[in-house]
Amino acid sequence: MNKVIASFSGGKDSTAMLIRGIEEGMRIDEIVMFDTGWEFPGMMDHVRRVEKYISREITILHPRRSFEYWMIDRPIKSRFDRPAEGIKKGEVFRIGNGWPSPMRRWCTREKVETIDRHCGKADRLIGFAADESHRTGSYKLKEKKYTKRYPLIEWGMDEAACLEYCTDRGFDWGGLYKHFRRVSCFCCPLQRLGELRTLRRHFPELWQRMLDWDDRIGSHNKGFRDYDTVRDMEARFAREDRQCEFCF
């Protein structure tokens, strides 16, 4: 019989799945979380609270190198000759992957590969909510090696129900869900513009980190929806702030 591992991100859905699963006696041999290094500060506090609540240890995995290294400092070698650029196959042609984008999700690849190396053939419990059932068709982590189960979908728990389930048990993530619909990587380029605006307003120190990273990334810095750089968004948000000041 395969080992059963609960995949835990720390968000409302995986937290609800984990706690209800334990409360109902579901077999869970190990709980695994991948720490990107880009989590909100309150997230790791939440993880420790969950460990105390369930009296179980959560295994924390980390990337081989920091995500900052992959994004900004990693030497990237060309897979083919680039005569127009004077670059031969195998030579470094760019430094850093740049911000992740829908077509360049190197962060997700690193996360998936790290979890796969750790979990091997163990079966997985995955916290997709009932209103996210469409995601099950795209979650392909070496499918032939293990089986996947989606308890929240089986229980009919949508995202709102998951949040309520967790708050009823005293979890509040330091107020993160009062500001954000999701609380994954704070700097994720796939966020909506409104969420990035909220990040800048309520977490200026994290926004400043994004600006600093942005200044260190080369000309291939693409990824944010409708904007090439964080600096572009900063200019827009600053204009909005000035307009609001004028209104008052």
Beta bridge partners of 31: 6
Residue given tokens 């190197």 in the structure block: 106
**Per-residue pLDDT reduced to its tens digit, 32-47:** 999 999 999 889 999 9
- The answer to whether the pTM exceeds 0.85 is yes
pLDDT by residue (tens digit) across 82-127? Answer: 888 888 898 888 888 889 888 888 999 999 999 999 999 999 999 9
Domains of the chain: 4-247 (3.40.50.620)
- Is there a contact between 123 and 7 (Cβ–Cβ < 8 Å)? no
**Cα–Cα distance for residue pair 50/54, rounded to 1 Å:** 6
Sequence-distant (6+) residues with CB within 8 A of 84 are: none
248 residues of the chain, pLDDT tens digit each? 789 999 999 999 999 999 999 999 999 999 999 999 999 988 999 999 999 999 999 999 999 999 999 999 999 898 898 888 888 898 888 888 889 888 888 999 999 999 999 999 999 999 999 998 887 765 454 455 678 999 999 999 999 999 999 999 999 999 999 999 889 899 998 888 999 999 999 999 999 999 999 999 877 666 677 777 899 999 999 999 888 766 65
Sequence-ordered strand ranges (E) for the chain:
4-7, 30-34, 59-61, 75-77, 92-95, 123-125, 148-149
Question: CA 219, 220, 225, 228: dihedral to nearest 10 degrees?
Answer: 10
